[in-house]
Amino acid sequence: MCGIVGLFLKDKSLEPCLGDMLTEMLITMTDRGPDSAGIAIYRSVSAGHTKLTLQSDTPAKDFFGLEADLSLALGGAVSLAPVDTHAVLVIKADDLPRARAALSRLRPSVRIMSSGDSLEIYKEVGLPKNVAQRFRLRSISGTHGIGHTRMATESAVTTMGAHPFNTGPDQCLVHNGSLSNHNSWRRKLRRDGIHIETENDTEVGAAYLTWKMRHGATLGEALESSLHDLDGFFTFVVGTKDGFGVVRDPIACKPAVMAETDQYVAFGSEYRALVNLPGIGSARVWEPEPATVYFWTHSSPPLATGRAA
């Protein structure tokens, strides 16, 4: 049992409140997953730049002097903003491959939590309220985000085992459920060049979507394909640079509820995660249908497609 939340803002005036609203939703789901917690936030950087969210078990050691070391290695200025065990590194987009190589050489114990022009991921072991305090999540602004509280079933309680998982640029996934064929898909995806770090079944779900899109599928098509290729009981909430999507398996035994107003679209494993959102009393509230893909972006109308189970 895990808790999932998601918030996609239509009203730009709410963007400074995104972290606060999403954190409140996440904390409400604590009893569904007290082991670890994480949030993915989407907020852009200046044109021509991209971001890496870094994590270290020894941040005082690993982040000290890292900005200067990377600037020297890349031959240009970089920006590093540490917060607790994480740090957001902003670099020129063209420097991304060299930055990854330099990080591996200069700070081999540092892990990359996320990569993308907009995406930042913060996750650690512990209660959601404590994780939120450590990373000052309430103060973060953004356009949309997703979060997860974990009750571990498939792998150990570790930082790397916490959700969300990022396996493609600006793409991340949170998951409630269990994939029964994740081991066979992990082997297949690794053979096809998809990087998977953990033994967590959710990372396989995220990597599957990345793999499908690398082979030409849209995100909607990849989510639809997951209904046929991934076995088990699952609710996926996925974030992309421009939006977020939801899909439940054909049996849909994992709880889910959505709400939409003129200001936002929200997702929660239970309705109580949504009760403090502005205007929730007049929102359209519904349970997402089984085997149906829902997707919202800032650049196109909402999508909802169904496939027969």
Q: Region 111-122: what's the mean pLDDT?
A: 97
Q: How far is CA 84 from CA 20, 21, 78, 176, 267, in A?
A: 18, 21, 19, 27, 28
Half-sphere exposure of 236 (CA within 13 A, CB side): 38
126, pLDDT greater than 90: yes
Question: By C-alpha distance, which of 52, 90, 93, 53 is closest to 71?
Answer: 90
pLDDT of 301 above 70: no
Q: In this model, does residue 308 exceed pLDDT 50?
A: no
Give 210 or 154, the one with higher predicted confidence: 210
Contact 36, 2 (CB under 8 A): no
2 belongs to the catalytic site: yes
CB 117 within 8 A of CB 51: yes
Rounded average pLDDT over 221-248 = 94
Structure tokens at 154: 């498939």
Rounded Cα distance between 38 and 196, Å, is 18
pLDDT at 307 over 50: no
Per-residue confidence at 309, pLDDT binned at 50, 70, 90?
A: very low
d(CA 27, CA 29) in angstroms, rounded, equals 5
266 or 151, greater pLDDT: 266
Tokens coding 60: 């005082």
- Beta strands (DSSP E) in 102-151 are 111-116, 119-125, 144-150
Q: What percent of the chain has pLDDT over 90?
A: 87
Bigger pLDDT: 90 or 307?
90
Asked if the model's pLDDT at residue 71 lies above 80, the reply is yes
The pair phi, psi for residue 131, each rounded to 5°, is: -60, -45
Where helices occur in 31-78 by DSSP H, the ranges are: 59-63, 66-74
Residue with the larger pLDDT of the pair 309 and 54: 54
Minimum mean pLDDT among 126-140, 150-164, 255-269: which range?
Answer: 150-164
pLDDT at residue 154 in the model:
63
Looking at residue 187, its pLDDT comes to: 97
pLDDT of residue 151: 76
Structure token pair of residue 6: 């998601």
pLDDT, average across residues 193-211 = 94
Cis peptide bond N-terminal to 34, omega within 30 = no
Q: State the chain's mean pLDDT as an integer.
A: 93
pLDDT at 28: 97
Given the residues 2, 17, 172, 253, the one annotated as active site: 2
Residues paired with 235 in a beta bridge: 176, 248
pLDDT in tens, 142-192: 999 999 998 776 667 788 888 999 999 999 999 999 999 999 999 999 999
Measure the CA–CA gap between 97 and 103, rounded to whole angstroms.
10
